[in-house]
Chains A and B, each alone.
Chain A
Amino acid sequence: AQKITQTQPGMFVQEKEAVTLDCTYDTSDPSYGLFWYKQPSSGEMIFLIYQGSYDQQNATEGRYSLNFQKARKSANLVISASQLGDSAMYFCAMRGVAQGGSEKLVFGKGTKLTVNP
């Protein structure tokens, strides 16, 4: 079974500083994908970044980068130059294979990020 662990219930960062949100995963599948989503107080899930298990390079999308360490089974999200609008819940998720062979997305419990002015 696939499992995602986010050990930081809450994080605080000063505006314009960088912050790292931790995510570790567990799976026996050789092929998997890792996602990060942002959920502001309005509730919508906003896709941020994706890393495939066979990707050689760490994924980057603007101010977001994913620090993928396969041997340690970690996929930490790094947000550079934090902005007030980055305050939100952040979820790490893993695409895995269900028993019947179809795909499913498994989520961690989330980290609440607060950016202070």
Chain B
Amino acid sequence: DVKVTQSSRYLVKRTGEKVFLECVQDMDHENMFWYRQDPGLGLRLIYFSYDVKMKEKGDIPEGYSVSREKKERFSLILESASTNQTSMYLCASSYAYGYTFGSGTRLTVV
């Protein structure tokens, strides 16, 4: 069964901490995506990557960066976490028309 795995289901971090959210896919997909989901706002695209070491900004990249050193792994980095980054974060990967999502990481910044 194909999978997108996010390393943590729940995470609590302090304001100002550097936070890494990890996502691994086992489908050899070219494209990977990071979204954040907030009530009433749906899923908003933060960053995506279409190849190793390649990245593109999504709709809300401010306060975030990403890393894709290997094809299967796409990391989202919060350089200095703030309370307004408390949210559900969803990773996805895609090939052609098929998109597969991870189960999400609920991040709370206190």
Contact = CB atoms under 8 A, between A and B. Distances in A.
A104 B33 contact: yes
The size bracket of the interface on B is 20 to 34
B64 interface: no
Given A95-B97, A99-B56, A109-B41, A104 B48 contact: yes
Interface residues of A, number: 26
Given A43-B88, A91-B43, A104 B58 contact: yes
Interface of A: 6, 9, 33, 35, 42-45, 47, 50, 52, 91, 93, 95, 98-100, 102-110
A72 to B, nearest CB: 21
A102 B48 contact: yes
Interface string B87-107: 010101010011101011010
A5 B45 CA distance: 16
Interface of B: 31, 33, 35, 40-45, 48, 50, 56, 58, 88, 90, 92, 94, 97-99, 101, 103-104, 106
A106 B48 contact: no
20 contacts: A42-B103, A43-B88, A43-B103, A43-B104, A47-B99, A91-B42, A99-B56, A102-B50, A104-B33, A104-B45, A104-B58, A105-B33, A105-B94, A106-B45, A107-B35, A107-B42, A107-B44, A109-B41, A109-B42, A110-B42
Contacts of A110: 42
Main DSSP-derived SS at the B contact region: strand
Nearest to A106: B45
A20 B54 CA distance: 39
